[in-house]
Amino acid sequence: MPCQLDVPQNLMFGKWKYEKPNGSPVFIAFRSSTKKSVQYDDVPEYKDRLSLSENYTLSISNARISDQKRFVCMLVTEDNVFEAPTVVKVFKQPSKPEIVSKAPFLETEQLKKLGDCISKDSYPVGNITWYRNGKVMQPVEGEVIIIFRKQMDPVTQLYTMTSSLEYKTTKADIQMPFTCSVTYYGPSGQKTVHSEQAVFDIYYPTEQVTIQVLSPKNAIKEGDNITLKCLGNGNPPPEEFLFYLPGQPEGIRSSNTYTLTDLRRNATGDYKCSLIDKKSMIASTAITVHYLDLSLNPSGEVTKQIGDALPVSCTISASRNATVVWKKDNIKLQSSPSFSSLHYQDAGNYVCETVLQEVEGLNKRESLTLIVEGKPQIKMTKKTDPSGLSKTIICHVEGFPKPAIQWTITGSGSVINRTEESPYINGRYYSKIIISPEENVTLTCTAENQLERTVNSLNVSANENREKVNDQAKLIVGIVVGLLLAALVAGIVYWLYMKKSK
């Protein structure tokens, strides 16, 4: 409840009070403007239910009917007292109305009590209305009699409303729903809450019995709950029947419904019901409880060594043909996996899924996480550049977990492009270096993972083509010099010839 006053600058303190029916005040809370302290008066009904904020808003927790009264906010200065009243109304929504004391049956053309409509814990008191097939029922002498009663709890001051209905039925009331409602007032105005429907039996002899399966789904699977309902076309229909379950010759006496919970596959069979006093009048229905079992062997996380064999089986047991799908790393496989000799690319997450068509929610899946481990294996190759000036050495490694590669070199020579690695795919990758040795050297490739450390070496000879290149350069220089000398001699001969001719 906010204090409906502007706080003055010279405020000394603020107080809240409420007024008794005779007008006398009862102070309940005090707050100083200077000390910022809050004091609550010793009023038993408000003990531990009050909270006064800095802006003098008063909060009351756990509201009660007795809180419906006139509260006053008081702001006190040195020369004045300001007051602002707040009138509190308390409402309590009644419980959902319920039709109780229902008649077990109604007889045509006889005025009989149909039942009581009851709604509890209301404040203020509410009003109850009866409905037949959604239409308001009005009192009619000799046909519809409605008696309304209210009672207040002296402790809580809450009302309980009861409305009794006496009604003369006809055949038109067969399967006709009756309801009641409670209309009450709340902070936002008038509201209405309706009860559940009630349907009453109307007498006439039963000539035929039928049985129904009340199930929210077309197909029934293991774990479902179903309700069997047995009906007689009499007026009223019988209240009790005998229900016969598969394999049980003796009937189970029950109302017109019998509920079976957590069905198992052995519940498949014919279900019957009959009248208690006339067992020859019987009806039956067939129920199939569908099931689906999946067994994956092995399953979970499995670690194997490369080259091992691993048989995998996904066994299905179902009430009808089921479809089976295998997936590896969320990609559908064309056939079920089988491993006679494991490779690194066989590692992954395998899932066996099965679905029973036309049975909603009946599917199973199990998974296998396959890890293929292997010690590092090394294969080294070399390739000489066409110029003969450099050699490319490649260290091919396979293994899982991924081995780390390290190079070492023995001898002299320059290393061109220390290392270059390929991507690690399916347990394999390589590392290469380009070298131009000046003398014979030995290259060592080391691969290591958690399983083992493997070493392999390759001898690389010095570049022999360097001497051949030098010899070729000398030959070219000699040829060029020879050609120049030959040209000089030819020139002298030509000059002498020309001179002699002149």
Q: Decide if pLDDT at 145 tops 60.
A: yes
User: Is pLDDT larger for residue 307 or for residue 435?
Assistant: 307
> For position 362, what pLDDT does the model report?
86
pLDDT 10s digits, 286-300? 999 999 999 999 999
% residues pLDDT > 70 (the chain)? 95
Closest CA to 273 of 199, 205, 204, 208: 208
Comparing CA positions, the residue from 95, 97, 93, 101 lying closest to residue 181 is 97
pLDDT band at 170 (very low <50, low <70, confident <90, very high): confident
Instruction: Determine the 3-state secondary structure of 470 from DSSP.
Output: helix
Rounded CA-CA distance 476/464 in Å is 19
Lowest-pLDDT range of 109-113, 399-403, 420-424, 435-439: 435-439
Q: Are the CB atoms for 325 and 353 separated by under 8 Å?
A: yes
| CB-based contact 176:188 (threshold 8 Å) | no
Closest C-alpha to 258, from 213, 206, 197: 213
Instruction: Express as a percent the part of the chain with pLDDT over 90.
Output: 61
Comparison of pLDDT for 237 and 145, the residue scoring more = 145
What pLDDT is recorded for position 409? 83
> For the chain, what is the mean pLDDT?
88
- Would the pLDDT of 438 be above 50? yes
Tell me what the mean pLDDT of segment 100-122 comes to.
92
Q: 281-285, 375-379, 386-390: lowest mean pLDDT where?
A: 386-390
Where b means 16+ CB within 10 Å and e means fewer, 235-247 reads bbbbeebbbbbee
- List of residues 6+ apart from 22 with CB closer than 8 A: none
Regarding beta strands 241-244 and 70-77, do their DSSP bridges make them parallel or antiparallel, or are they unpaired?
A: unpaired
Is the pLDDT higher at 117 or at 489? Answer: 117
Residue-level pLDDT at 472: 53
Q: Is 462 helix (H, G, I), strand (E, B) or coil?
A: coil
pLDDT of residue 467: 45
- 440-453 residue pLDDT tens: 888 889 999 999 99
What pLDDT is stored for residue 39 in this prediction? Answer: 93
Mean pLDDT of 223-239: 87
Q: How far apart are CA 333 and CA 325, in angstroms?
A: 8
Please give the pLDDT value at position 18.
95
Asked whether residue 502 carries a pLDDT value surpassing 70, the answer given is: no
* pTM score of the predicted model: 0.46
Q: Which amino acid is at 74?
A: M
Asked whether the predicted pLDDT for residue 72 surpasses 90, the reply is yes
Say if residue 176's pLDDT is above 80.
yes
Task: Assess whether pLDDT exceeds 60 at residue 29.
Answer: yes
pLDDT of res. 414: 47
The DSSP secondary structure of 246-308, one letter per residue, reads: TT--SPEEESSEEEE-S--GGG-EEEEEEESS-TTSEEEEEE-EE-EEEEEES-EEEEEETT-
Both tokens assigned to 108: 């045509």
Hey, which of 13-17, 231-235, 362-366, 410-414 has the most confident mean pLDDT?
13-17
* Cis preceding linkage at 124, omega within 30: yes
What pLDDT, on the 0 to 100 scale, is given for residue 277?
A: 87
Closest CA to 29 of 67, 72, 64, 63: 72
pLDDT for the residue 469 = 43
